[in-house]
Structure 1
């Protein structure tokens, strides 16, 4: 990014999204209980606790899981807050440290009796207990497989950050699908709907196309929205905007415009594949699952402007004008190694 760059305009993604947003009626109760659960462990410094509150993770769940019952919504809030804890820990670590943190999380997810004495293991066990109560065997198995892929990609991200390396677009996208935890969050849809899809459903071409288009739309849109926050903290390597600027020699504005065009294509790809799946005689549960991913696509957009997470106090102005004024580097956050956005930004 040239030193003279002080602003850019984000793409108008809401205008290309025909999907309907909603919020969950159980939001306030589930959010308060989940936040109290995490805060009871006293794991954040004051600065990181403020960032946790500012993040509004539970509000994101209200949008993207608008159809969930109370118990299911509470579990999704717990999971996204657990991801925030993992992200906070790993963002302060080397690649080796991030791998060790990831291993604690994965082992605790696999085995309720496994324990290394860490708070992370305890929190993970408590989430696991809620999840396995309603999750089907296929859902649970795939969820744990995605946990392993997520933690491996978070460790790779930490190694790249150490080395100051920016991946090519071809290398970045598989990494981003997993270190963002979006696919993990998609897994919760089966849990919420009370379905347990067989593996061959995921191999159906229309299902797979809609599934990956939805994931990539969330990842690309999240990256362009979070770019200013991340650059202010010195964390831009794990972002599609930086990847495009680096690989194609684009300006910041050109990269932002490119994201908008690709997101428009991804939205159409999702809608077309969803339509084909619905009319193909595919199992009703497969169609319900793909339809539910649409809540993620639109909900993540709406939520991004309801909170101060990405655009600070300017979030409503940015919603209106789409102009983002780049913040100066926050030397305190850079020195503290504070969080760049991933999962739960999904997440």
Structure 2
């Protein structure tokens, strides 16, 4: 039996685990809504349900209203059904699906064409409900970043089709988009109109990038075992580091942990800088909520990685504690 040890990446992260009090009620509503589409076979739907994407939303947005949490849970279901559908298709089909989803989001009042992939109607209904309560600014921002996300998923499909392994630098560039964090930060501002000069401020942009890198590294650490077993690890920083830096698995894990530490250190440098900045009392209050939401996403992602059944099945909470993972044989995850 071959084992490897997950680095302890969350030591010292000061944001504690929190969960939205509306979790159980909204999860039931969102799950019933999603199951109504029959997007998966019975077996695939059970596997999808084990992932509990409403748990991720409820951990990520612990203070959102019930209405905004519902939109956020629906969004998670959309992101992950899009991910599942595109993982098994070639780049041309993925591009078609991306266009369908974006058309549905831009035209949530428009009936979808007969015979279209069900993901289009999932996207339409999600956003038809979402625009009823989300601020105008957040609506505009969501469409912008979700478009970038879908385009990056198309690029990932091209890489997969060509069996292309990116360099470390190239990988970070695309993974920062395909992981879907930019759309996932938008619900933090559903109840506010965060000005563009704040959202695009270089320090806030850099801090957001650090949060994304921390999340993607933690996600790749947890997903690596399943992906390497299924032969689908070309889009994983551990595999790429092993290849580019000529490292074994333990060496790659150590290198990835060091990169994670550097991102965390840089995050706190930027956090301190932002404490002395001001855009006026009302905006400052929104900025404080937004920044706290970004930082909380790191904790939420880590908790969900282990508490859901997506990566470790029923062993996740135990693995979160002892960090030891049995390396799965090739094709074991298929």
Q: TM-score scaled by structure 1?
A: 0.90
Tell me, in whole angstroms, the C-alpha distance in 2 between the residues paired with 1:144 and 1:297. 23
2:103 pairs with 1:107: yes
8 Å Cα contact 1:104-1:116 kept in structure 2: no
Alignment partner, residue 175 of structure 2: 176
Tell me, in whole angstroms, the C-alpha distance in 1 between the residues paired with 2:106 and 2:237. 32
Q: CA deviation at 1:53?
A: 1.1
Tell me, in whole angstroms, the C-alpha distance in 2 between the residues paired with 1:328 and 1:44. 27
Question: Please, which runs of 5 or more residues in structure 2 have no aligned partner?
Answer: none
Tell me, in whole angstroms, the C-alpha distance in 1 between the residues paired with 2:245 and 2:177. 24
Alignment partner, residue 290 of structure 2: 289
8 Å Cα contact 2:146-2:182 kept in structure 1: no
Q: How does 1:188-267 map to 2 (within 5 A)?
A: 188-191=187-190, 194-267=191-264
Tell me, in whole angstroms, the C-alpha distance in 2 between the residues paired with 1:329 and 1:51. 20
2:81 pairs with 1:81: no
Alignment partner, residue 137 of structure 2: 138
Alignment partner, residue 319 of structure 2: 318
Question: Please, which runs of 5 or more residues in structure 1 have no aligned partner?
Answer: 335-347
2:147 pairs with 1:148: yes
Task: Give CA deviations for 1:116-156 in whole Å, capped at 9, x if unaligned.
Answer: 33322222111111221222333222211112111111111
Tell me, in whole angstroms, the C-alpha distance in 2 between the residues paired with 1:189 and 1:296. 10
8 Å Cα contact 1:8-1:323 kept in structure 2: yes
Once structures 1 and 2 are overlaid, which stretch shifts more, 311-320 or 16-25? 311-320
Q: Secondary structure at 1:8's aligned position in 2? A: strand
Judging changes above 3 Å, is the alpha-carbon distance between structure 1 residues 136 and 313 closer, same or farther for their aligned structure 2 residues? Answer: closer
Alignment partner, residue 51 of structure 1: 47
Q: Secondary structure at 2:4's aligned position in 1? A: strand
2:6 pairs with 1:10: yes
8 Å Cα contact 1:57-1:80 kept in structure 2: yes
Q: CA deviation at 1:198?
A: 2.1
Tell me, in whole angstroms, the C-alpha distance in 2 between the residues paired with 1:36 and 1:114. 21
8 Å Cα contact 1:209-1:269 kept in structure 2: no
Tell me, in whole angstroms, the C-alpha distance in 1 between the residues paired with 2:315 and 2:122. 34
Number of residues of Structure 1 aligned to a counterpart in Structure 2: 327
8 Å Cα contact 1:10-1:257 kept in structure 2: no
Q: Secondary structure at 1:279's aligned position in 2? A: coil
8 Å Cα contact 1:93-1:158 kept in structure 2: yes
Q: CA deviation at 1:167?
A: 0.5
Q: CA deviation at 1:114?
A: 6.0
Tell me, in whole angstroms, the C-alpha distance in 1 between the residues paired with 2:31 and 2:252. 36
Alignment partner, residue 342 of structure 1: none
Tell me, in whole angstroms, the C-alpha distance in 1 between the residues paired with 2:266 and 2:15. 14
Tell me, in whole angstroms, the C-alpha distance in 2 between the residues paired with 1:165 and 1:295. 34
Tell me, in whole angstroms, the C-alpha distance in 1 between the residues paired with 2:205 and 2:135. 20
Q: Secondary structure at 1:12's aligned position in 2? A: coil
Please report the RMSD computed on the Cα atoms of aligned residues, expressed in angstroms: 1.7
User: Structure with the greater relative contact order (CA < 8 A, sep ≥ 6): 1 or 2?
Assistant: 1
